[in-house]
Structure 1
Amino acid sequence: MPKPTPDNPVVIKDPQAIRALAHEARLEALEELISSQSSRTATELASRCGLTPSAMSYHLRALEKYGYVERAPSEGDARERRWRAAGDRIVVESFNQKAPAKTAFLNVQLNAFRERLAAEIDRREAEAAAGVEPAPDRAPVLTTGMVFLNDDQRQEFVKRVYDIVREYESKAGPEERGVDGKRLYYMLSFLPEIVESELPKPKPAIQRPGLPKR
């Protein structure tokens, strides 16, 4: 049995902190640090994000300002600062406060995923053009669908999917989590059907007395 992973979320409540993630390089760097649970230098992260080390250092300081990342102990060459995630996952709790911040955060995540989908399609087309036979069990680029579940089944379904993710996360050691480790990107979204009649009703507006006439 794999050992359970510690639960150390970074809880974000400030809309300004959500806006700080509305940048592809920042989101990719943060994803790298959270997923690896290892430290990285600005140079290492810059090479993955297509930026200069100085530009990545700027973005890391912005992420540090809002509590996403923190300084890590030096390894070997102490001249270059190392960074690590401030937790093992991000929890956003201000979605019901500021629509622009919410939209910006979602758009950056979806755009990054869209680019990865396009890159994978291009890679498979290049392999087909070169006559490379795909593995018979290769997963499709994207799978969507729906299942019919009651409330208890839905909770079990979501839990089992995340249990698989946590199981394989716990199996990765320092070598697999290194800068040169092989990565598999995924995006999970469980969207229950929205029934208008079951949505909570907005609170009635507070009627304020008018100003007295002079």
Structure 2
Amino acid sequence: MSQNTVPAGVPADLPAIHAARNPVVISDPQAIRALAHEARLAVLEELFASQSTRTATELASRCQLTPSAMSYHLRALEKYGYVERAASGSDGRERRWKAAGDSLVLGSLNDSASAKSAYLNVQLNAFRERLSSEIQRRDADRAAGIEPVEGLAPVLTSGMVFLNRSQRDEFIKRVYAVVDEYEAMALPEERGIDGERLYYMLSFLPEITD
């Protein structure tokens, strides 16, 4: 999305208010299959969301991989146009990498249901692991007698609203506008490898009645 957040799975008809300036559009089944790996997905999430550069060593530390293994994944992502090499750091000792655009958009893959399913499963599994970790953390705090932070958001919220088409479009635009607003607040120094992160997942699913 705009600065960017979760870097794929975004529909091609994304509301204009949340449109990317320089999207990377995925339309090749082989390219989408290349994303069906947790480490690669984490790399894209990091690079597209931060819109900053990272070394293989920095990315490896976030994925619990060796730098050489991370370099392999980065070269694979480069092959399909997801990431590209950035200018070296001031000391020139290690190559830096960056996202190839400001958004990763999943285009039409009507003939590649298996590729889309593989990617979707990796996305959902990664988020499921984050949910489980947060539940465990809160349970551990509760067992230790640690008071929850005031106003702490629920681990997961889902629901349904009754909206006509125009209301639905407005609802989606307003949600994305809030995301864009807060993405734009982060200063470059706050987007570093040690910056604080808040993960989210958005999905708007109209009822299928046919």
After TM superposition, the score normalised by the length of structure 2 is 0.90
Aligned twin of 1:189: 203
* Bigger Cα Rg: 1
Which of 27, 34, 44 is equivalent to 1:20? 34
Find the residue that maps to 1:146 and give its secondary structure: coil
Aligned to 1:125: 139
Q: Which of residues 33, 42, 46 is equivalent to 2:60? A: 46
Residue type of the alignment partner of 2:102: D
Secondary structure of 2:43 counterpart: helix
Residue 37 in structure 1 maps to residue 51 in structure 2: yes
Q: State which of 161, 176, 181 in structure 2 corresponds to 1:167.
A: 181
In the alignment, residue 201 of structure 2 is paired with which amino acid?
A: M
- Percent of residue pairs bearing the same amino acid type: 73
Mapped pair 1:151 → 2:165: yes
Q: What corresponds to 2:11 in structure 1?
A: none
Could you tell me which runs of 5 or more consecutive residues in structure 1 were left unpaired when the two chains were aligned: 197-214
The number of equivalent residue pairs is 193
Q: Does 1:81 align with 2:95?
A: yes
Tell me, yes or no, if the aligned pair for 1:14 and 1:94 is still in contact at 8 Å.
no
Q: How many Å apart are 1:185 and its aligned residue?
A: 0.2
Report the AA paired with residue 101 of structure 2: G
Letter in 2 for 1:67: G
Contact 1:20 1:62 (8 Å CA) reproduced: yes
Letter in 2 for 1:170: A
User: C-alpha distance in 2, partners of 1:47/1:7?
Assistant: 30
The 5-angstrom pairing of residues 75-114 of structure 1 reads 75-114=89-128
In structure 2, runs of 5+ residues without a counterpart are 1-16
Alignment of 1:1-20 (within 5 A): 7-20=21-34
Residues 75-107 of structure 1 deviation map (CA, whole Å, 9 limit, x = unaligned): 212120000000111111133121110110000
Structure 1: 4+ residue segments shifted above 6 A: none
Counterpart Cα distance in 1 of 2:73 and 2:62: 14
Q: Which protein has greater RCO, CA pairs closer than 8 Å, 6+ apart?
A: 2
Instruction: State the Cα RMSD in Å.
Output: 1.2
Contact 2:35 2:119 in 1 (8 A): yes
- State the 1:53 CA deviation: 0.3
Which region of structure 1 is more displaced relative to structure 2, 125-134 or 4-13? 4-13
* Contact kept in structure 1, 2:38 and 2:122, CA below 8 Å: yes
